[in-house]
């Protein structure tokens, strides 16, 4: 099995005020051509979202999304009426194809 170690001090980061994000792989404004992915895994972010804040509706393109809140609650809603809130200790796995905004 392939193993890769990426120390926290070498991760990309972003501060959007309402969102603090640590990027394991090249993502958004963080670019490292030697750290693009791990096999099929393309994004692995550690995000802290301010209470009552979140992303505006945005498209996804054929991806699997796994969310694991370490504290608090995380709500997800899409344009076809699915709305779920998960809390610490729960895991949410979503398949996001094309045509749906969430």
pTM tops 0.85? no
In a domain, 5, yes or no: no
Note down the domain range covering 95.
55-102
In a domain, 1, yes or no: no
Say whether both 75 and 32 belong to one domain. no
In a domain, 39, yes or no: yes
In a domain, 18, yes or no: yes
Q: Which pairs with CB-CB distance under 8 Å and at least 24 residues apart come from 20-24?
A: 20/47, 20/48, 21/45, 21/46, 21/47, 21/48, 22/46, 22/47
Say whether both 14 and 36 belong to one domain. yes
In a domain, 2, yes or no: no
What does the pLDDT profile of the chain (102 residues) look like in tens digits? 788 788 888 899 999 999 999 999 998 889 999 889 988 888 999 999 999 898 888 887 888 889 999 999 999 887 788 889 999 999 998 887 776 677
**Which of 61, 51, 101 minimizes the C-alpha distance to 77?**
101
Say whether both 45 and 73 belong to one domain. no
Say whether both 59 and 47 belong to one domain. no
């Amino acid at each position: 099995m392939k193993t890769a170690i990426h120390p926290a001090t070498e991760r990309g980061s972003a501060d959007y005020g309402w969102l603090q994000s640590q990027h394991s792989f090249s993502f958004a404004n963080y670019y490292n051509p030697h750290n693009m992915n791990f096999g099929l895994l393309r994004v692995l972010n550690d995000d802290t979202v301010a209470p009552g804040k979140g992303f505006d509706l945005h498209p996804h393109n054929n991806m699997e999304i796994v969310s694991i809140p370490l504290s608090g609650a995380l709500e997800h809603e899409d344009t076809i009426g699915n709305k779920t809130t998960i809390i610490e200790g729960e895991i949410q796995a979503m398949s996001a194809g094309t045509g749906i905004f969430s």
